Amino acid sequence: MFLSFAMGATECVLLSMMAFDRYVAICNPLRYPVMMSKNSYVPMAAGSWIAGGVNSVLQMSLAMQLPFCGNNVINHFTCEILAVLKLACADISINVISMVVANMIFLVVPVLFIFVSYVFILSTILRIPSAEGRHKAFSTCSAHLTVVIIFYGTILFMYAKLKAKDFSGADKGQVTDKIISLFYGVVTPMLNPLIYSLRNKDVKAAVKNILCQKCSSEEM
């Protein structure tokens, strides 16, 4: 539960840092080597991991202090924190408040940051005179934007609807929550290597070469 929560929060921050990287690359290309030097991106990456870990420790410590009753069977694929909190037999208002605050920090703020970054990016791209230049700039952002839409689209639906009544123990929506958490916890990480690597010209050439060899062998 700690690892899944920490890595999810870290991913949220990292995606916003990557949006800043795209913003600098497109809107301030001449200053990119200075603004995104090793002295900049290492603290940004380390800060993302530290923030995700601290948030996870806080949420786990609050959850583990609760008393749990009944058969304590978690109605989920994993130790999802929302499913665990539904088993508690005490007031979980503090947990709900802490998760709402965490959602604001790790979901709403990064999404707003990404949105503002892409507003400036789009404005800069539209001012590029050549179609080839615009296409190149768009391709720079395409992989990141795809991951952002898939990741945040599912995780926002899961965690942005937090209400006290969601933890009443009712089965309503639990199947949907399982599918959504499985999607952003398993499917999205599996797609990430494909989404990012298929932008690479060498990878594209290698894939085409493998497909051509396969087609040739089948014809023979």
> Is pLDDT at 63 greater than 80 in this prediction?
yes
Please write the tens of the pLDDT for every residue from 79-98. Answer: 777 778 888 888 888 888 88
Distance CA 56, CA 1 (A): 9
Please write the tens of the pLDDT for every residue from 131-160. Answer: 887 887 777 787 788 888 888 877 777 665
Please write the tens of the pLDDT for every residue from 173-214. Answer: 566 667 777 776 777 777 777 777 766 666 667 777 777 776
Instruction: Find the domain containing 189 and state its range.
Output: 2-219
> Is pLDDT at 167 greater than 60 in this prediction?
no
Distance CA 13, CA 21 (A): 13
- The CATH number assigned to the domain holding 125 equals 1.20.1070.10
Confidence (pLDDT) at 116: 93
Confidence of residue 108 (pLDDT cuts 50, 70, 90): confident
Confidence (pLDDT) at 50: 94
Please write the tens of the pLDDT for every residue from 121-134. Answer: 988 888 888 888 78
Of all residues in the chain, the percent with pLDDT exceeding 90 is 12
> Is pLDDT at 43 greater than 80 in this prediction?
yes
Number of domains in the chain: 1
3-state secondary structure of 160: coil
Confidence (pLDDT) at 168: 45
Give the chain's count of helices (H) and strands (E). 10, 0
